[in-house]
Structure formats: structure tokens, C-alpha cells
Amino acid sequence: MWMELERRHLGAGADPNALLTFETVVLRGARLSALTESECVQLIMHELEARRGGWVITMNLDHLRRFENDPAYASSTRRASLLIADGMPLVWATRLQGTPLPERITGSNLIWSLSQAAAERGRSIYLLGGSAYANPRTAEVLKERFPQLRLVGVMSPPLGFEQDAAELAVVTDALIAAQPDIVYVALGSPKEDQLIDHLKSELPHTWWIGVGISFSFVSGEIMRAPRWVQRAGFEWLHRLVQEPHRLAKRYLWYGVPYAFFLLHHALRERIAKRNRQ
């Protein structure tokens, strides 16, 4: 079914064991959490208080396209606690189909707001992934911004570590030893999603968040688009200009056509629903 609203329970309220009810919006079969960034942060903090872990996927256009075309990836994605829309085309499509999400929530914004909340509440974080420069520099920047932040580990594993049992064991053992409340995983999708799905049972009280390129933004390794460009939905174009060889195929060959497909079908579904009423 293209359009649907569902109530989900995850926990919140004054009682740390109470359940929070929030809406999800179905877009091409993916259940996107209808939350603001502030509500997302509050929910994660509440779940940590209740000693319940979770997994956030920051879903962009590329994630959604893969979700539709890769059954194994779709099955893994459905095990996440929260799917948040990290892409303006997804937000636009939900508006067109008549089930609007409240706002876009990017991993690159969430890393700031969630780290601030973690610092204020004494929660610990771990930085996994990113480049050999971006990973430690991100740790420095976050500590400079939030001096009380408990940073319990940083690691930038070698390329292909997830395919090497010994290297994967090193990563797993380090995380188990650190016992972080929050792990930011910056490996890109689908690698970060697959790794989180594999590791989350080792730390059931931890929240895992795939943040993609965010360490490079925080560290200054890659310049992020200005705010007005982000709000206009052209952040992808800003990134394409900086990394044309790496991103041209993803954005121009796959992304743009899929965006038109997504918006066109969202509008058609809204019209069809109106005609049925």
C-alpha cells in the first residue's frame, strides 16, 4: 500500500518505562518515523534511560531506491527502530501523497543535537568509521563544542574490515569493552547498515546511528552546503561539485531519475485516493 499511517510504540513520557506513541508514514513500503529532530533526540535519550537500545537509519533517496530493489536490504532495514528522512525528495514525496513528514532529519545535523543531549545527560558516545583524518578530528571538534561529552572510543577500521573475521573481531571487542550509550557509524550505506545489524545484539542497551559522510563534515574534510542550499533540497548538488568522480553515477544516473519517479508516483497516488473518496 502506498499511503498509510501507523501508530508505533517505542517508549517515552515521565515514566522511563512508559510507551511513546508516534506516527509512521509509509513511502514505497518503508515506514518513516514522523518525528522532528528534537523529538528524535528526546526519544533516544528516553530509551537510554529505560535501558533500551535501538537503531536509527538516516534514509535518503539512495537508501529508499535500494530498499525497493534489494529484498535483503529491505529485510534488514525493517529491523531498525527508527527510519528518519535524510533527504528532501522523501519529505516532498510524503507531502505529495498526503501524509507529510514534519521535517527532514539529517545524520549530519543529528550528530550535533544528539551529542549535545548526550553531554548534558552524561551519556557516552563512540565514533566508528570515517577516514583516518576525519574520525579523530571529529572527536576533537565534538569535545571542543561539548566539553562534558563522554567520548569512550574512536576507531577508523581498515578498508574491507567487515569481510575479515579477525579485523571484525577487533572492532567488536573494542565496542564491547567501551560499552557506549551511542555509536555513530560513518561507513556509508549499505555497509554501515549491515554492520549495525550484525553488531547490535552485542550491545543491546546501545543506540546505533548510521551517519554516512558526517565525520567529514564535522572535521572540515568536506565542506557542507550552506543552510539555504540544504533547505532548498540541493545539498546533493553541492556534494557532487566537490566529489564528481565518486558521486556522478550515484546522483545523476540513479538519483535524479528515481527522484522524478518517486515524486510522480506520489502525486498519482494522491490523485487516485482523492478520486476514490
For 163-172, what is each residue's pLDDT tens digit? Answer: 999 999 999 9
DSSP string for 199-214: HGGGSTT-EEEE-TTH
For 181-192, what is each residue's pLDDT tens digit? Answer: 999 999 998 999
For the whole model, what pTM was predicted?
Answer: 0.89
Q: Would 224 be classed as within a structural domain?
A: yes
* Angle ∠(126,222,116) on CA atoms, nearest 5: 40
CA-based nearest residue to 185, from 204, 157, 164, 219: 157
- For the chain, how many structural domains are there in total? 1
Share of the chain above pLDDT 90, in %: 69
pLDDT the model gives residue 20: 61
- According to DSSP, residue 252 is labeled I
Q: Would 256 be classed as within a structural domain?
A: no
Instruction: Give Cβ neighbours of residue 114 (< 8 Å, ≥ 6 apart).
Output: 41, 44, 182, 209
Q: Would 257 be classed as within a structural domain?
A: no
* Region 151-166 average pLDDT: 94
Note whether 94 and 25 are within 8 A (CB). yes
For 97-154, what is each residue's pLDDT tens digit? Answer: 999 999 999 999 999 999 999 999 999 999 999 999 999 999 999 999 999 999 999 9
In which domain, by residue range, is 36 found? 5-232
User: What count of residues does the chain have?
Assistant: 277
pLDDT the model gives residue 9: 47
pLDDT at 237 over 80: no
Q: Would 249 be classed as within a structural domain?
A: no
Amino acid, res. 11? G
